[in-house]
Structures are given as C-alpha cells and as structure tokens.
Structure 1
Amino acid sequence: MTATMNTMDVRDIEARYPELLTRSFWQRYRTAFAAAAVIAYFIFCWWFFAIGHVISSANSDIAGNYLADWISWEARPDIDIHADGTMKIVFGKYSPLGADPHPDWIEAKTETVTRTIEASPSEAPAQPKQSTSSFSFVQPEFRGDGETSKTAGTEPTTVTEEVVTEAHIMMNSSSWIDLSKDKVELTRGGETLTLTTGGKTMTYDGALPEWAYQRAPGEKIIAYFGFAGRVEVEPDRVKVRKRFLGWENFFFDTNSPFFGKSAGDVISLMFSDNRVDPNQSNLSRAIDDILYNPSWQHLDVWTKLLQTIVMAFVGTLFAMVIAFPLSFLAARNITRNKPLNQLVKRFFDFQRSVDMLIWALFFTRAFGPGPLAGIAAIFFTDTGTLGKLYSEALENIDDKPREGIRSVGASPVAIQRFGVVPQVLPVFVSQALYFWESNTRSATIIGAVGAGGIGLKLWEAMRTNQDWENVAYMVLLILIVVYVFDNISNRLRSMLIGNGRK
C-alpha cells in the first residue's frame, strides 16, 4: 500500500522543518550573482586592457602587409627623375632580380642623350662611361684608402648616356604606373591619380583616392595597390615596391650559375659534362649553392634546428635520469623519513618555480651563449617538474605487490625493483616523452635569449624587421619537427600504456 501526502501534511512538514524546504537567499540568486560576476569581470578586463581603444586604433593594412611579408617578396626599383624630366631606373645592390635586371613588368622607352654635369669645387663625380644602361645599380666609387674620389677641379663634364623618357610599370592586371616628363599617373581599378613631379613639392590633380596617402601638403605621396605592393612618389624619385607571391631565390642566389634557370635546365646542367666550375662537378656545385645560399643559409638553419632537437632530447633525458632516484626519496610511502622527504620536495619546488627562460638567461651568463646553456636550462627545470610528478605517482601505487614481495624475504632493493617499478615505469616514461615533445618547442624560445639552436637564428631574423620570409621558413621547419615528434611521442606513449595495462 502506498501512502500519499495531502496539502495539510506538506504544510505541517514545512512548519516543523522550514530549513529543509525553504530555499535561502543565496540558493535562489546564486546563478544570477555568478552571471553578474562574470559580466563584471569581462567589463573590467575591457577597461583595464583598453581593448576598445586597441581595436579602434588597429590598422588592418599594416597587419595585412606584415602577414604578406611571410609568404612573399618585393622587387624594389627606384626611378630617379632628372631636372630635364628624363629618368633612370635603379635597382639595389643586392636586388633579388640579379645583377642585370630587365623584368618584363617594366616597359621603358629610352634614348641616348648628351648632358653636361656641373662639378662641385670639393667633390666631383667619377667620369662615367660614354654609354650606360638605363637599368643599373648605383654604387659610389672609392679610392684605395676608402674615401670617395674627390677633385679640386670645377670644370663641367659632358657625358653621353642612355636615359628613360617614358616608363610603364605593371603592378597587377588592374593597376599600373605611367611615368613621363614631369608627370606620374597611378591607376588602380579604373581610378587614376595624376601627380606632378620635377618641382620641390608634390602636387596632384583632384582629390586623393582612398588608396593614396599624403602626410602633409607638398610631401611625398604613398599609393597602395593591395597585395601587389605600393609606390612612394617624391619630386625627384619614384620608389616602386612590387610584391610577388613566394620566397625569392630559395634554392640559388643571384651569384650562382644556376640562378634564373628553370628546373629542367638546372637538372640538365647538374649532370652535364661541361663544368661551370673546373674544380668541382656541376652536381656538387649545385648542392653547395643550395646549402650555402647566403640569403637563406639552409645548412646553418638545419644545423641550428638539429641543435634544438638535441638540446630538448639531452636535457629531458638527463632530467629523467636524475628525477627518477630523487623521486623515491621524496615519496613518503617509499622513504619513511619526513625531513628527507620535505628536503627533496622543496628542492623540486625550487627548480620548477623559476621559469625555463630565466634559467636559460642564468646559464647563458654562466656558460656563455650556446647549446650547453639550453641543455642545462631544460635539465634543471624538468628535473623539478618530473621529480614532483614521479613522487606523486609513487605515493599513489598499490602496496599489495610490494607487501607480497616483502613477505618472501626479498631485499629492499628487490622490493622496489619488482614491487614498485613495474607499476610506475610506463607512467614515468610516458611523462618523460611528453616533456621531450614539449621541450622541442621550449628549446626554440630559450634559444632566442642566447641558448643556441634555431631560436637564436629566428630572433636574429625577426630583429631586422625585413626578413620575415626567413622567419616563416624557420617557423615552418619548427612546426614540421614538432608535428613529427608529437606523433612519435604519442605512438610510444600508447605502446607503453598498453603494455602497462597488460
């Protein structure tokens, strides 16, 4: 028979035990209080870190250019504008286009002119050749003692040279630059901006479009063409920065005899009997040019990456070897000596309480820059962390196997060997493998402070604020290494844990 409660019974129980059936104020409103606290916290963070101001002042164009620098490169011709309106296209000394660039995206109309150059009383230009190309590299001439050539003469010099009278530069299919006497026309997406050159200030017709910028009236004008690049126009010079997708000269530098050749031509030349260098085979020369490419430094980067891997492996291995016996001293159920337990545990706390980066700075000062400082930093930090994890694993073992081995009169060493180690060894090795995988990433960071490895190389490339394609290259290598070792570590951990369960 089932008893039922009527309304009077319920009220009677409420009267006798109000604390059981009546919800307190906190019980009724704790969800609302928790939600209000979370909202207040986010509002505080928004104010404290000035997130609104940061978002409003962010420049997406700069961020886009920064990201584009990782996957692209720039050709940087400068067009010098002479007083008579003629021009000369100048590439930098280390242009990625080579020593004599004539790119197909620049169309120039040239003519040979004779001009008179007035020499200053204190310094005159060196006598140029009678006929020079309108595409050139400009470098000052030097005397043997390192000073620029000077002359006391004031006689004007008459020279004959090839100059550019008109130029057409394609940025992409819908954007280009047209240069003619005293005028520069910038076209982007059907919109054209006409600029006047040759004077002392920059002037233009109409209003500046959204893709052009001038800081103050008369100053240079910068026009942006999206991913295709940008151009800076001054009264006497036009600086073009044309962007190309990819990494320039990744295999062969401009000084290599294989530079500028197609893949088929390179392979054919590698196995050709006609040597480009009489002292070595073409195949050997090609390999050397790739490994010692001055722009990318492949061999040095790979060597530093190997240093990083070795740093992570050796540092983790030493930490595991030292943490293993010390963890037995720290475990209270293994070593029943409370002062010794506390001493070892505090030693672990001391080692792991200081970040690996700080230890790397310390050991860099102690041992000097190099992989030894990185190995020491990893070893010292991970000894404390692994020691703590190992001791906690030991304190949670099942005592029955140990008691069974002790009951047959086994020695203390045998008790630990056969009663404890089989239980914790898979866990110990699994944790060590995880730290090895993690330290492969950490070794990159500590390398940036002088501890050797690819981290230092990465920091040097970032510090120039120009070689972002090199940064992307090294980051990609690090990602590949981390991915490979992550899979190796996961596979080994799965095997060990599986064997441990069996």
Structure 2
Amino acid sequence: MKTLDAAAMNALEARHPEIFRRFNWRHFRIPLLAVVCVVYLASAWWYFGVSKVIHDANWGIAGNYLADWVSYEIRPEISIGEDGGMSIDYPRFDPIGPNPNPLWIQSTKKTVTRTSETPTAAPSTPAAPKSNFSFMAPAPSAPKQAQAAAVTETRTEEVVTEARVTLGSGRAIDVSPDKIVLTRDGEQAVLTLDRAVGEVRAEGTLPTWVEQRTPGGRVIAFFGFSGWTDISAERVRVRRRYLGWANFIFDTNSAFFGKPAGEVIRLVTEGERLDPTQSNLSLAVNDVLYNPSWQHLDVWTKLLQTVIMAFMGTLMAMIVAFPLSFFAARNIFRNRPVNQITKRLFDFLRSVDMLIWALFFTRAFGPGPLAGISAIFFTDTGTLGKLYSEALENIDEKQREGVRSVGASPAAVQRYGVIPQIMPVFLSQALYFWESNTRSATIIGAVGAGGIGLKLWEAMRTNSDWENVAYMVLLILLVVYIFDLVSNALRSRLIGTTQG
C-alpha cells in the first residue's frame, strides 16, 4: 500500500476540506450553556413546586399585610344583646382616642328599661356541733342553708337599634339586631342573624368579596383598602383603615393629642402650663419621647445600640485578624504548620454563620448586646483574617526586598515593605464589613442579641403592629444609607478611586 507524503496530504486536504475538517465543540458552547440553564431552572421550578405555591398563594392577605405597613385601623365593635339592643364599643388602645364619635358611624338610639335580678349573699349558719362518729348510728343531717334572696334592679339605658358604618364611597355596613346588609360598589350581600342558635345565614349567593367558610359560621367581608368586617351572630367587628401612622407624635393620653400644629406651638411657646410641675415644652418633649404607641426613645436607643454593636464587633475582629493574618501568609511567616493552623482557625470561625454564633452566645451570656458583639467578632475575625492573609500573599516582593537590602531588621521590613502596600486594602475591607454588620446586627438581634432587631421581632410577633415594623425598617434603611455614604467616601480616600 502506497503512503502519501506530507505534500500529497496537504494537496488532498485542499481539494476536499469538508472531509478533513474536525468537529469543533466551541461553536456549540453558548447553545449548550443555554440548554443547561433552562433544564436547571425547569427542574428547580418542579422540585420546589413553584407553580403550586403561586396558585395557592393568598394574594389578598399579602396585600393586607402590605397595607398595614402604611396605614392604621379604627376598630369599633357592635355587640348585639339578647333583647336586640346594640352597643358600639372601642378597644382600650384604639387610635381614635377618648370619647370616640366618628362621623362615618351613624346610629339610631332609643331608651329602654331593663330589669335584672341580683342574688344577695346567703346568711351564715352556725356550724354543727361535733359528735363522735359511729358506724351504727346515723350521720347527723346538715343544717339547711337559708335561701339567698334575689334583689330586683331596674335601670334605664340608651341602646342602639340601628347602625350604619360607611367605609368609603359606595361601601357601607347596615347593622340591625337581626339583619346585616353589606354594600360594595353596587353589589349587596344580605345576612340574617339567628342568635338563638348562633348562626349567620346568607340570603342568596355571596359575592366574591364576602367569605363564609362553613354554613352558618362567621362571615368576613373585604372592602379593599377601606377595611373589612368580621360578622358573627352576637357581634360585628369593623376595621376601618386610614392611610398614615396614627398618633405618631402624641398619643391619646397626651394633653396635646388632637390639637393642630399651630395650637401646639402656641402652647409650647406662650401658653399656660398644662402640668404645674413642668413647662409645656418639657411636657411635649416627654410625650413625644415616651409615646406608648411608638416608643420613640426606646427605638432610637436600640438603634444606637445596634450601631455600637456592629462597630465594636468589627473593630475587635480587625484588631485580632490583623496580626493573625501575618502568621497565615506563607510568604511572610515561612512555617507551614503554623500557616495551616491559623488558616484552619479562620475557616472554623467563618464557617459557622453569625446567627448560629449569636444563638450560642445568647445562651452563654444571656440576651443583650454582648452576645451580638461576640457573634460579629467571631465571624468577622475568620473572614477578615482570610482576606488579609490572601492580600499579604499577593504583595509586591520588590518593595520588601528593597527594604531588606539596606540591612533593615525583620520588623522594619514588615513595617516599611509590607504594611504600606496592604493597609489601604485592610482598612477598606474593615469599613465594608462595618457597613455590612450594621445590617447583620439587626438580624442577630432578633434571636436575643440586643439592639433594634429584638424590638423589630417583638413588633412582628404581635401581627398587628406592622406600622411600627415599617417605622423601624425605615430607620434601619436610613442608618445603612448614611453608613454606606461615609464608608464609600473613606474608601475612596484610602484607595484613591471612586466607589460605586
């Protein structure tokens, strides 16, 4: 068999290039990568059941929670007595204040006379004399108790016979002892109350904004942002929603509650003392700081505690990680066992999440900022130590050799040949971690490590103070934004570039 030389092979390849062309996979890299990404996303979508979660999600409740962040509710409760008389009451800490009489509730009243019997205390009877017990003799009978006399009490009361609650344009609740009429944008739902058996019966098909899960059970009607109502056979609970934060400056117990801003300024500057023991200015400041609904002073104190907690934890971590990073850097400290031990220490400290460290130290030290500082210190010591040691291992050795060539001591070599190179990077990373830890300190505070995180968690647990949650979240965002500006400005001066 004749073999072709190189020239013949090249000539053959030039005449028939399609035969000798090799298959190049590089042309298919992007399509393959796209296919892999699509397959991965589809499998993740199926594995976590995203479609079912989206389908079963109650978006109406999510909307109500979102509305609770920027609004407040007035919560009247209409109670229906056995005789058909109704009364309108408000919770003790309702934001409407004392003596509520809102214009959006109109009622018809009448005076009724009610009679009730109150039993009096039974007269005491002398104790039976003690006798020797015998199995043969019958037991002495107990003396008969005197019958308690009942006292009849007659009183005159004013009761509500009908009430109309207006929840915005075209939205109302008409309440009578035996019937409820719900109106929303031209649609009506009529409910009949049977107090004898404790049932609420719907006349006809209920619209989509009225919900009754079981026949005869309670009914919940939603009126959009305006509010909602919960109806049972004995009472009607109404939630009237308003945009804004109620009593943010002065609480209902304050002498300045409900007064316009101009009148408050006049009272503070030139008005007569509302409290003989202090000036009106002092009283106003005290009422704002110790507002029981918003607790401004306590929230600001906890926020400052969070900032200090983040600062102290980051500062201690930087101080400890700085010298340890020199032992971890292979080009600085040429001792492999020490290098490995120090690096494994960094790995251990940063592999445990800050939240887990916070739980551990909360159990060890008890709830408070000390646990938070310790959690930040441990986590950041490991992370900063790793970053510092890697920065040391990537320094320019020429500067270090230049200092050593003039006969400088080992300490002077590190001082003038190493530290000037890495100090801007070290400080920049420490500033970034301080900014980041301000956010992290909020999270670990929720598990008892002190600061505003614990107060935020307490407000969320009530499931009714979402406006307080929004207030604290905005304060945290403001502080993080200020720290971000300060940190960027300082890093720009240290590194010499503008940080985004």
Normalising by the smaller structure, the TM-score range is 0.7 to 0.9
1:469 aligned onto 2:467: yes
CA distance in 2, matches of 1:117, 1:10: 119
- The one-letter amino acid paired with 2:485 is N
- Tell me which residue corresponds to 1:145: none
Deviation at 1:12, TM superposition (A): 2.2
8 Å CA contact 1:83, 1:198 repeated in 2: no
Map 1:131-170 → 2, pairs under 5 A: 154-170=150-166
- SS of the aligned residue for 1:162 comes to strand
- SS of the aligned residue for 1:97 comes to coil
- Tell me which residue corresponds to 1:175: 171
Map 1:159-238 → 2, pairs under 5 A: 159-197=155-193, 199=195, 200-238=198-236
- SS of the aligned residue for 2:496 comes to helix
Cα 1:152/1:20, change in 2 over 3 Å: farther
- Tell me which residue corresponds to 2:371: 373
Map 1:336-485 → 2, pairs under 5 A: 336-485=334-483
Cα 1:250/1:152, change in 2 over 3 Å: farther
- Tell me which residue corresponds to 2:13: 13
- Tell me which residue corresponds to 1:324: 322
Deviations 1:153-212, CA, capped at 9 Å, x for gaps:
544432111111222211012211122352222111011222223533222333211111
Deviation at 1:362, TM superposition (A): 1.3
Deviation at 1:376, TM superposition (A): 1.0
- The one-letter amino acid paired with 1:168 is R
CA distance in 2, matches of 1:475, 1:119: 54
- Tell me which residue corresponds to 1:64: 63
8 Å CA contact 2:347, 2:382 repeated in 1: yes
8 Å CA contact 2:317, 2:384 repeated in 1: yes
5+ long unaligned stretches in structure 1: 1-7, 123-150
8 Å CA contact 1:378, 1:439 repeated in 2: yes
Cα 1:198/1:88, change in 2 over 3 Å: farther
- Tell me which residue corresponds to 1:308: 306
Deviations 1:412-456, CA, capped at 9 Å, x for gaps:
111111111111111110000000000000011111111111111
CA distance in 1, matches of 2:78, 2:46: 49
What is the count of residue pairs matched by the alignment?
A: 464
What is the TM-score with the length of structure 2 in the denominator?
A: 0.88
- SS of the aligned residue for 2:167 comes to strand
- Tell me which residue corresponds to 1:35: 34
State which structure, 1 or 2, has the greater radius of gyration over its C-alpha atoms: 2
Cα 1:407/1:223, change in 2 over 3 Å: same
- SS of the aligned residue for 2:199 comes to coil
5+ long unaligned stretches in structure 2: 1-7, 122-146
CA distance in 2, matches of 1:353, 1:19: 55
- SS of the aligned residue for 1:94 comes to coil
CA distance in 2, matches of 1:499, 1:445: 32
CA distance in 1, matches of 2:370, 2:492: 32
Percent identity (aligned):
62
1:73 aligned onto 2:72: yes
Map 1:281-296 → 2, pairs under 5 A: 281-296=279-294
CA distance in 1, matches of 2:119, 2:86: 22
Cα 1:109/1:440, change in 2 over 3 Å: same
CA distance in 1, matches of 2:52, 2:262: 54
Match of 1:333 among 331, 334, 340: 331
- SS of the aligned residue for 1:115 comes to strand
Deviation at 1:237, TM superposition (A): 1.3
- Tell me which residue corresponds to 2:4: none
What is the TM-score with the length of structure 1 in the denominator?
A: 0.87
Cα 1:344/1:16, change in 2 over 3 Å: farther
8 Å CA contact 1:111, 1:163 repeated in 2: yes
- SS of the aligned residue for 2:333 comes to coil
Deviations 1:321-365, CA, capped at 9 Å, x for gaps:
111111111111111222221121111111111111111111112
- The one-letter amino acid paired with 2:72 is W
- Tell me which residue corresponds to 1:141: none
Worse-superposed segment, 462-471 or 15-24: 15-24
Worse-superposed segment, 179-188 or 279-288: 179-188
Cα 1:113/1:250, change in 2 over 3 Å: same
Deviation at 1:113, TM superposition (A): 1.8
8 Å CA contact 1:118, 1:154 repeated in 2: yes
CA distance in 2, matches of 1:363, 1:327: 25
Cα 1:20/1:309, change in 2 over 3 Å: farther
Deviations 1:371-400, CA, capped at 9 Å, x for gaps:
111111111111111111111111111111
Worse-superposed segment, 363-372 or 427-436: 363-372
CA distance in 2, matches of 1:162, 1:45: 64
- SS of the aligned residue for 1:419 comes to helix
CA distance in 2, matches of 1:14, 1:20: 9
CA distance in 2, matches of 1:153, 1:32: 95
- SS of the aligned residue for 1:197 comes to strand
- Tell me which residue corresponds to 1:266: 264
Deviation at 1:40, TM superposition (A): 2.2
8 Å CA contact 1:81, 1:198 repeated in 2: no
Cα 1:273/1:194, change in 2 over 3 Å: same
Deviation at 1:252, TM superposition (A): 1.4
8 Å CA contact 2:13, 2:20 repeated in 1: no
1:23 aligned onto 2:23: yes
8 Å CA contact 1:85, 1:198 repeated in 2: no
Deviation at 1:84, TM superposition (A): 3.5
